[in-house]
Structure 1
């Protein structure tokens, strides 16, 4: 049903293959657009976006340890460190 396609990365301009398996995955997830970037450029972009996020310091409401969170803590809601957060799920 799906065939490999060769696409051009919009960042680096290199050709990359959008495999039949990737196309099937995109279809299962309901994605409508083909990828515009090759795997290396997608990874680079994700990493740069993660680095540019501002992190805030908070005290964990459960264990009292200092935690870094990607949102500005507000007094009306508890903030948990990553290990306590997974325990509260």
Structure 2
């Protein structure tokens, strides 16, 4: 088990995914702008992890930054300090 680190030194916490969501609308203005009433329908079965054009996963660091996985660094738990391993 190990950890990924982004090129900026931040810990990778997940993947960047796309999912279909429908924002609920009550009506429309004449210039075709929606009036939202709050709430959304989420279609979890449409979830897909984003990739680069070359097929590398796009991952997210702890500050929300996105990075291609091939630009990140993998560290084994045994290579980490006790503090880094405890953070897992």
Structure 1-normalised TM-score?
Answer: 0.23
Q: Which has the higher contact order (CA 8 A, sep 6+)?
A: 2
Q: Which has the higher strand share?
A: 2
Which structure has greater helix proportion? Answer: 1
Q: Larger radius of gyration, structure 1 or 2? A: 1
